[in-house]
Chains A and B, each alone.
Chain A
Amino acid sequence: GAVVSQHPSWVICKSGTSVKIECRSLDFQATTMFWYRQFPKQSLMLMATSNEGSKATYEQGVEKDKFLINHASLTLSTLTVTSAHPEDSSFYICSARELFRGYTFGSGTRLTVV
Chain B
Amino acid sequence: ILNVEQSPQSLHVQEGDSTNFTCSFPSSNFYALHWYRWETAKSPEALFVMTLNGDEKKKGRISATLNTKEGYSYLYIKGSQPEDSATYLCALRSYDKVIFGPGTSLSVIP
Enumerate chain A interface residues (CB-CB to B < 8 A): 4, 6, 9, 34, 36, 41-46, 49, 93, 95, 102-108
Contacts and interface: CB of A to CB of B under 8 A. Distances in A.
B98 interface: yes
Interface string B23-55: 000000000001010000111101001000000
Contacts of B103: 43
Contacts of B41: 9, 107
B7 to A, nearest CB: 13
B18 to A, nearest CB: 26
B43 A103 contact: no
A108 B38 CA distance: 11
A57 B97 CA distance: 11
Contacts, number: 41
Interface of B: 4, 9, 34, 36, 41-44, 46, 49, 89, 96-103
A102 B47 CA distance: 11
A46 B100 CA distance: 8
Nearest to B96: A49
A42 B98 contact: no
9 contacts: A6-B43, A36-B100, A41-B9, A43-B101, A43-B102, A44-B89, A46-B97, A46-B98, A104-B43
A4 B102 CA distance: 22
B43 A43 contact: no
Q: Which 5 A-B pairs have the closest CB atoms?
A: A44-B100, A105-B43, A43-B102, A105-B44, A107-B43
Given A41-B9, A42-B102, 16 more contacts: A6-B43, A9-B41, A43-B100, A43-B103, A44-B89, A44-B100, A46-B97, A46-B98, A46-B100, A103-B34, A103-B98, A105-B36, A105-B43, A105-B44, A106-B43, A107-B41
